Amino acid sequence: MTVDQFFVGREESHRIFAALRAAIDACGPAEVRVTKSQISFRRGRAFAWAWTPDRYLHSAHAPLVLTLSFSRRNDSPRWKEIVEPTPGRFTHHLELYTEADIDSEVRCWLEEAWYSAV
């Protein structure tokens, strides 16, 4: 599956994803893997995932969710949810409603996740 196929019928999500991908590309090279449920960005390991909640939820939701993995908990109030799936790895979920949500703070988080993925 391609990125374009992933976003068929989800133009708003696709626009936000394009801004997200540009922000990740600014960090440095990353492999992009597209599956039926999400798009992941990898270096040595995956560090960021983008997915569309409408595939799973039927209520109001953001057009795109960014998931980042850190070795620490980031306590920003912007996160929708933070979980620790394995000891010492924290998964953070951020709802993205517009391209403007990918601001300098999010770019710093992307850079941190990118650097830690080797």
* Ordered domains of the chain (ranges, CATH): 3-115 (3.90.1150)
**Angle 4-103-93 (CA atoms, 0-180°, nearest 5)?**
65
pLDDT tens digits, one per residue of 25-74: 999 999 999 999 999 999 989 999 999 998 777 777 899 999 999 999 99
CA atoms within 13 Å, Cβ hemisphere of 97: 4
- Judging by DSSP bridges, how do beta strands 39-42 and 46-51 pair with one another? antiparallel
Q: Can you tell me the mean pLDDT for 65-90?
A: 94
- Based on the number of CB atoms within 10 Å of its own CB, is 32 exposed (0-12), middle (13-18) or buried (19 or more)? middle
Q: How many CB atoms lie within 10 A of CB 70?
A: 17
Q: What is the pTM of this model?
A: 0.93
